[in-house]
Structure 1
Amino acid sequence: MEYINEININQAIIHILDSNGEDPILNEYSLELSEDIYTFLYKHLEKCFKDEELKYGKFNLERNIVKEVVQDYLNGVDNDLINLSKELARQLFIIMKANVNIPSGDLIIVSLTTDQGPMIGILKMDYVKNFTHEIQFIDQKIGIGIVPQSAGLPGSGQKIQKAAFIKPINEEDRYNLMILDKQKSSKEDEYGANYFINTFLGASIVTNERDMTRTFVKAAENWTRKNITEDAGKAEEIRTAIKAKLKEEDTINIDELSAEIFNEHPQIKEDFSSYIKQQGLNEEVAVDKTWVEKKMKRVRLNIDKRIDLYINEDTYHDSSKFEIQRNGDGTINLIVKNVINYIEK
């Protein structure tokens, strides 16, 4: 996956999309990018680009307003970001008015320069309930209370649910936008749940290396937990083999890996391969090395549902600090060695 590591905000505009109103409240001016505002936007953008649910997308062939107006801007046909942002706000507001389950919020459109080229960012900032103090003068005395604010923006420490980052379209590219579209679990929101991708953006998700790698790791772990319940030694062998492949190989062949691990058990070999492929993976899994490196920095172990261990990768593989002993009966000993100091938390 192409990770965004450098972000520069050129211009930003905010609009109010309150579905209780008849029309959106459209801004005629860009935001003044003071240090506080720039930092606020930058932190949200950074969180979006680092979010593991950020996916690749590609615009569908059908005509779509978002695709057309953004490409006109990125290609220099129309350099007015305010007009572009107003058109995007109108389009999204129409969709919101047709579906009462879509929450009100503010829409922020940003022009970005990144290490992967220029982009237009679309951030839907759903309102969050905040509280503030209220000062009243009662009988010449000060009274201070707490009142709710129903139209607060998510703070820089909170995550945005829906965002998109659009780059110039090149038909040869695998993707032309990055999409963050988190869904609520409530059944009442199922109607129109994919409005952001399908209706507003007019795009389709394109599977990337991080998605494949993450799905593969999760599927392998779920299979191991379900099928290897009373043989900690075998479970450790499976996990170690998978970690080794992730670190050493650029692609993993599921059938070949299964044959290596379960070479003496044809039925288990077939069951493992089938289960992994049923999670939407092809036989060849492209490995995202950046994701793997981040994932393996720390090993988290839950032992017999009673003990939790958090060990960094170097210590886990350092036999002078940590050791796994096989007892020959399916059980193992996990030994923490040469302890100089410890604290309780």
Structure 2
Amino acid sequence: MEYDIQIKTAVLHILDTSISFPVLSNNGLYIDGDISEFLEKHINKILDDPNLKKAMFTGDMNTARDLCQAVGTDKNNFASASKEIANMIFDIMLKNVDIISGDLICCLLTINDEKYYGILKLNYKTGFTHLVNKMEEGNTNSIIRHKTLLPAEGQKLDEAVLINLETGGIKLIEKAYEINGVKEYYLSKYFLDCTTDLSDNEKMKIIDKVTKKINKKYYDEDFDKVAKLKNVVSQNIEDNNKVSVEKIAEDMFETNLEVRKEYIQEIQKAGLTEEAIQIPQKIAERKFKTHKIKTDTGIEINFPLSYYDNSDMIEFTNNPDGSISIIIKNVSKITNKQ
């Protein structure tokens, strides 16, 4: 999906924990065509990322919220607020060595005419580049490992925050790091001090995990149940881009009311309490368009989910000796896949 994104102003601060202080900029970025396109592409990817979470500030005292509100009230506060935000994040990074160093871009922007404060952490990537050494006898070109490369336009950011300056709502992508011996999300817990909803990816992981658990408990990991789940989800998405947990339970477990009830309870216990779940198109295409099975004899078959329950294309037959025969039908040509 394309969004109408307009970058109004931006500043870049260097948060490299190999040195003991942040390198803060006193002047904003020059927003020319290349820089504007670079930021807009990254923000588009952020908005479409299935790991994006909605969040809200909490607490009576919240420094990050107050700084954003100050910028929303008067954009002249942008420079000082951005420095304060960079310092807050750098202090957390210094105390927790696993957090990756990177450049921090703070920006004021509009998304579909709504005002946002953006915080993009461009974590450093390691790569190789050339180096020209000028010597008396001439140039000597070599290859060096560069440890502070920024993510390219086509790469997704691991950490980003978009704060709506009118509603206070937060759109958040964050990465878990080891803090005090435990994997934690430092942006939401220690910087923003906010509550977060589940991302689309997290919701689908809960459904997958609970389905496999119930399938193993009651149906001995019957592959038919897994295919059926994908088919139910796929059909719901085609109808309205949403899936209902009740509908999944009803279609998968049919008249077995006890299993249906347990399935829904396990979903809710895992933190997914919504009745209907919006499934982004990218996740739908990746997870629910095809189904892959593997036999105990080592044969793997990957087939379009639309063929499930279509005996004209593929048929599974239970034999008297307990084995299963798989018949693939109406094939006009076979090609080799490397």
Equivalent residue number for residue 332 of structure 2: 339
What letter corresponds to residue 100 of structure 2 in structure 1? P
Superposition deviation, residue 176 in structure 1: 0.6
Q: Does 1:299 align with 2:290?
A: yes
Equivalent residue number for residue 39 of structure 1: 37
Q: Could you report, residue by residue, the CA deviation over 1:226-265 in whole angstroms, capped at 9, with x for unpaired residues?
A: 35456444544454345445555756254x7535543454
Equivalent residue number for residue 219 of structure 1: 209
Equivalent residue number for residue 313 of structure 2: 323
Following TM superposition, where does structure 1 have runs of at least 4 consecutive aligned residues deviating by more than 6 angstroms?
A: none
1:117 to 114, 129, 133: 114
CA contact (8 A) 1:96 1:102 kept: yes
What letter corresponds to residue 47 of structure 1 in structure 2? K
Equivalent residue number for residue 50 of structure 1: 48
CA distance in 2, matches of 1:268, 1:318: 23
Structure 1 pair 225/100, CA: closer, same or farther in 2 (3 Å)?
same
Equivalent residue number for residue 89 of structure 1: 86
CA distance in 1, matches of 2:269, 2:313: 35
After the TM superposition, which residues 179-258 of structure 1 pair with which residues of structure 2 at under 5 Å, given as runs?
179-184=172-177, 190=181, 193-207=184-198, 210=200, 213-223=203-213, 226-227=216-217, 228-229=219-220, 231-245=222-236, 247-248=238-239, 252-254=244-246, 257-258=248-249
After the TM superposition, which residues 10-89 of structure 1 pair with which residues of structure 2 at under 5 Å, given as runs?
10-74=8-72, 76-89=73-86
What letter corresponds to residue 218 of structure 1 in structure 2? D
Superposition deviation, residue 202 in structure 1: 1.6
What letter corresponds to residue 82 of structure 2 in structure 1? S
Q: Could you report, residue by residue, the CA deviation over 1:154-205 in whole angstroms, capped at 9, with x for unpaired residues?
A: 22233322110000254xxxx7101111224xx5774583321112112111
Equivalent residue number for residue 96 of structure 2: 99
Q: Could you report, residue by residue, the CA deviation over 1:59-117 in whole angstroms, capped at 9, with x for unpaired residues?
A: 0123222211212222x334343233222112222322333333322110121211271
Q: Could you report, residue by residue, the CA deviation over 1:286-317 in whole angstroms, capped at 9, with x for unpaired residues?
A: 22054575556732423326324253x6x647
CA distance in 2, matches of 1:35, 1:259: 53
CA distance in 1, matches of 2:259, 2:173: 37
What letter corresponds to residue 160 of structure 1 in structure 2? L
More divergent stretch after superposition (328-337 vs 76-85): 328-337
Structure 1 pair 344/120, CA: closer, same or farther in 2 (3 Å)?
same
Structure 1 pair 290/155, CA: closer, same or farther in 2 (3 Å)?
closer
Question: What TM-score does the superposition give when structure 1 sets the normalisation length?
Answer: 0.79
Structure 1 pair 40/215, CA: closer, same or farther in 2 (3 Å)?
same
Structure 1 pair 296/125, CA: closer, same or farther in 2 (3 Å)?
closer
Structure 1 pair 237/67, CA: closer, same or farther in 2 (3 Å)?
closer
Question: What TM-score does the superposition give when structure 2 sets the normalisation length?
Answer: 0.80
CA distance in 2, matches of 1:176, 1:93: 23
Structure 1 pair 23/247, CA: closer, same or farther in 2 (3 Å)?
same
Q: Over the residues paired in the alignment, what is the CA RMSD in angstroms?
A: 3.5
SS where residue 193 of structure 1 aligns? strand
Superposition deviation, residue 58 in structure 1: 0.4
CA contact (8 A) 2:245 2:276 kept: no
More divergent stretch after superposition (232-241 vs 112-121): 232-241
What letter corresponds to residue 204 of structure 2 in structure 1? R
Q: Report % sequence identity.
A: 23
CA contact (8 A) 1:232 1:331 kept: no
CA contact (8 A) 2:101 2:124 kept: yes
Equivalent residue number for residue 253 of structure 2: 262
CA contact (8 A) 2:234 2:288 kept: no
SS where residue 197 of structure 1 aligns? helix
More divergent stretch after superposition (264-273 vs 52-61): 264-273
Unaligned runs of 5+ in 2: none
What letter corresponds to residue 13 of structure 1 in structure 2? V
1:167 to 155, 164, 169: 164
What letter corresponds to residue 39 of structure 1 in structure 2? E
